[in-house]
Structure 1
């Protein structure tokens, strides 16, 4: 609903404006002086129609105060005493427009529609700015492919609704970042945002984590504790990897979605909660339903709107964008020159399927900075060791390994490639012979301790 605030001391004029705007499907609140609006929340309004002269002050003198509270509020000044000087002062103070009395309703409607167009544009710009900021924080770039632009367009349409969302996609595509983006621009943005990784909680603790428990409910329950749903009341809860929940917990979650109530372990009363649920999974829940691993009724409750984030192999034009993004990031982190790939090396990267998606690209770029001298051009022969398994997802190990494990594997594979020649191995890796010898002794020592 579009919300308009009217501050007008002429009650008859205010009544006419309210009636006209409500017919245009706007929600309108009317106040007759400045004192009466002291306790209202200006962030609840999009547009303020303010009389220039009010019983307890000038409306023009409040423009800056209003905008300071709500930077996106469009203030339209109304006056029967208007002249050019008043108009200039109003606009310099931050007013969106200036209308003379008696109010021409057609002109007013035009100004309001124009104001909403600007509001939408500002919101879109804010969203784009947020994506950039979140990209930096979350190691995630949105990409520029048409498929991703279309996806963002869909997300923007549902962002301000309270509908449950199911975000699907393979591991590493950025499901949590999309969730943060949705939360940031939802009606609940100022309310709690609780993230739960369902796969990370031991099965015997899931119920107590989600729904809480009462004192004495079980051994060790020395005091009552609210669950994640209670903590998310009035806000949003993100259930990541929801496909990992047991059928028993699924039935309890269904009750929350249907009735808006939870029951702590050991309690004999229900607690009302108002929570928007966003769930994510890398599983095919429809298949899990057929197998009996996931409740059909819960699936339909969650799947009101489905956002499916495509894997990177389905939008290859985004691969160079991600590589460049992480290239700049890790050059700064490791205080090294940015990586320069030869043409055949870049072609190899563009044709690789990246089963670990964005996360795998990030790990790949970082290990190049760790292992190689980035002052030299990185050739296909330098990086082919990372792609020995030729795109076989089930055999690809690196995306799940630590950086120390990756480093060890690359060094040993390169040493094998050069048939034990340490000088050639060190040269290929861009490290000194002394460093290579130190690393090999370290691996021998670790092997001896096992």
Structure 2
């Protein structure tokens, strides 16, 4: 197999740099009309025929010889069996990663709070976990047990009563690592269905699949399209684009390390994006040489090659200050600050899903076991959104308790504003509670 790279080289000093960068970053998560209509048809069928539709679609799309919905349900005992079937090192790694993810997310828990004003009025916020969350997990060979941990554990830490997992099993292929991860993470129920039909089942419920409050987890274009359509009926985490990494380097890190860090995202799929920014032109040349040297050694070399050639880039900047400016403009999913003193630059980073500090902190550690969540905003959405966390599985209710005097004082303000909006009933409702001079 012959592979070669022609990674784009950009220079921030060039007059048309902004245009070239925008073109490089452009990616649109759109479904064509055929995919969109197919998803709508699947959702309609699941809503109308429930379990029967799930069985039919699983037979058709996954090649599973299921006679009834019972053939698509895995009990807790099957998850526990998976723990015994994986190797001891695999179980140890899953348990260590799960513990670290749990400890990190425990710090995100929010408590309810209240405060009392001088007149006795009480204001506050009640934090309540969702009743039920749905976790979509890709199945077959493209299976990610780490995603099970990252999605299920925050839900459990938040206090979600029931976590329901759906995972396709193409041709009946069960991934023991995924099932073991589900067991360790505390998943309550598993259905071996996938695609748009699984999303529809979670969103609307069937005779066997319970309706959930929120659906999280990655999937293909059919899954993403289905999540778009059911949003509003249920909550969703995000519509994720291809994986991304941006490395900002001062030129002093081993170029082989940087090349492999870029590969770590490029190997996900052809649309993944890997970018290096540095003020050192010679270092960019050395990384380019490392890319060419190491690429033929990679198992997923063809995918990496297409990703690097299609969406990758080596960007030369004036200095580290400009490197940070470029990073903020890109707003990457993963940002590596591979520099001597990352802490000195951290305060200037405004847009990034996750920030990896220093030369020894590879993005791969965050994917598996560092602790923070690896479900991150992509395609520039780090400008306004955050990693998946405990807060995504909690909702907040406002608390208002007015004392007699408080209702009177606030009623006068509310009356003025309500009449200004010509909402007379609002005004009179508030005015009824305004105290007269006699106190009645």
Task: Give the alignment's TM-score, normalised by structure 2.
Answer: 0.21
Higher relative contact order (CA 8 A, sep 6+): 2
Q: Which of these two proteins has the greater Rg computed from alpha carbons?
A: 1
By percentage of residues, which structure has more helix?
Answer: 1
Q: Give me the TM-score of the superposition, normalised by structure 1.
A: 0.21
